[in-house]
Chain A
């Protein structure tokens, strides 16, 4: 069955959300400009899992009635189980750089800024990292500037860490105990050597690495039907490009 990259990534993220060895995902928040993570969350919810989704950029029916600080207040209390983050640079210790390259505050290439990452990464029970571009300029040995720290010093209050990093080419699992990523699966057509060449940080490879499972017919039907319906208002360009569906004028 034919599927596109975004559909593969959405089902891959959904599988990580449902991972039974990870802390439970009862309440998931999804930030701005994150259509693929949003699709993954909808896939989990529409498959019958009892999960609450708080989509920050939902215009009608926005979940927050106390302003945008409510997300951070909820997270501060430990009421957000799972959040998604990316980064202009991500390094081998899962440090994130959303500020920019070169001298502070991004004299090389300036990215938009840290948003809530310096807080969310430490206060959410787990974080799934998502960045479609998989290249040595994004996946670096050491980020130029740390917006959000991958592993905290002993004694510093922190609820969770990165669970995994999903890119357009593979899935890495993160091990906070050893501060390293390991290769979990390869997207179709990729090899371990390809991933090594495209990755600026060193990572572990244990045994034979399987391919990332393809979306099932049921998953694709959900994505292209009811999930696209839910996402059309917030992500019209994404729905047009990925699901070939235009919002009503």
Chain B
């Protein structure tokens, strides 16, 4: 698999696509999120696996998002996600709240190719009360009155994340962050950015194989150095708290977000670097 350019990858994301993203602590491709924002894609339906962070907030701020399904949207120590909060208040996005294990379970149903999976808990929560697509049934194997929630399989159009490296065959290594494997398995297409491409085949190396996602699940790879930034990438680089704190301050208002985005997303140098 030959790597493609980041902007060519972003160009394959159509308006209205359902896009699954991991949060800041599990390898988001902020580089691709910014490239999608530059392209001006509209009406995306974001899926937080299982929650959403910086990449989702900038896509909302850039006006790319119609709907978000997630268990929380947060900038961690930098506080609430400002563009998400503003869009919810303005009614400009549809918010479908979930809870973390439900997000995983809906994707795992797709991994298995089954139409639904059950999950304990949730009964009595307003999360469930506001999800008409989640159903409560009598446990067919249990005692009378033992009710349980069924969750429909969720298959995002596109999964997006950032790995450490790809090999000559298009396999991607990202270590123990296996939620990205779930995203790749459950999505119709996976777009993966990496720090670098190396010779060889990770699946032939016993030490790398278990942290590898097989190329069969991956549609295209683009090289984006420091592509998770400001999020951390395993032991390669740390979380840039100062960058996120500045974003959180500026993005409190739409004007502040636009000023930040002009510098960080739409700056000619940033665009030319692709």
- Contact residues of A with B, CB < 8 Å? 32-33, 57, 59-60, 62, 64-69, 72, 75-76, 98-99, 104-107, 110-123, 145-149, 152-153, 155-157, 236-237
Contacts and interface: CB of A to CB of B under 8 A. Distances in A.
B256 interface: no
B232 A62 contact: no
B119 A68 contact: no
B241 interface: yes
Contacts of A153: 123-124
Given A68-B26, A110-B88, A116 B80 contact: no
A137 B211 CA distance: 46
Contact of A156 (B99, B123, B178, B181): B123
A60 B122 contact: no
B235 A60 contact: yes
Contacts of B147: 155-156
A115 B97 CA distance: 9
Given A69-B182, A72-B101, A119-B99, A149 B25 contact: no
24 contacts: A68-B50, A68-B104, A69-B108, A69-B179, A99-B97, A104-B130, A110-B89, A111-B80, A112-B51, A113-B72, A114-B98, A116-B50, A118-B99, A118-B127, A119-B121, A120-B121, A123-B120, A145-B126, A152-B123, A152-B124, A153-B123, A157-B148, A236-B241, A237-B241
B102 interface: yes
Nearest to B127: A118
Interface string B181-206: 11000000000000000000000000
Contacts of B120: 76, 119, 122-123, 157
Contacts of B105: 69
A104 to B, nearest CB: 6
A170 to B, nearest CB: 26
Which residue, of B72, B85, B145, B176, has the highest number of chain A Cβ atoms within 10 A?
B72
A76 B101 contact: yes
Interface of B: 25-26, 50-51, 70-74, 76-77, 80-81, 85, 88-89, 95, 97-102, 104-105, 108, 119-128, 130, 145-148, 176-182, 232, 234-235, 238, 241
Given A112-B81, A115-B51, A99 B70 contact: no
Q: Which 9 A-B pairs have the closest CB atoms?
A: A113-B72, A67-B178, A72-B101, A149-B124, A119-B121, A67-B179, A116-B100, A69-B104, A118-B99
Contacts of A67: 26, 104, 176-182
Given A112-B81, A118-B121, A152-B124, A98 B100 contact: no
Contact of A114 (B99, B108, B148): B99
Contacts of B89: 107, 110
Nearest to A111: B80
A117 B119 CA distance: 14
A68 B102 contact: no
Given A114-B99, A114-B125, A119-B122, A64 B72 contact: no
Given A114-B125, A147-B126, A105 B99 contact: no
Contacts of B71: 113-116
B101 A119 contact: yes
Contacts of B181: 67
Contact of A118 (B76, B81, B125): B125
Nearest to B22: A68
B145 to A, nearest CB: 4
Contacts of B77: 33, 237
B182 A148 contact: no
A68 B70 CA distance: 14
A34 to B, nearest CB: 11
Contact of B85 (A110, A116, A120, A148): A110
A72 B100 contact: yes
Which residue, of A64, A115, A116, A155, has the highest number of chain B Cβ atoms within 10 A?
A116
A117 B128 CA distance: 12
Nearest to A100: B88
A115 B176 contact: no
A105 B88 contact: yes
A112 B72 contact: yes
A66 B80 contact: no
Given A59-B25, A72-B101, A119-B122, 17 more contacts: A67-B26, A67-B178, A67-B182, A69-B108, A76-B101, A99-B97, A104-B130, A112-B72, A112-B73, A118-B125, A119-B99, A119-B121, A120-B121, A155-B145, A157-B148, A236-B241, A237-B77
Which residue, of B51, B100, B148, has the highest number of chain A Cβ atoms within 10 A?
B100
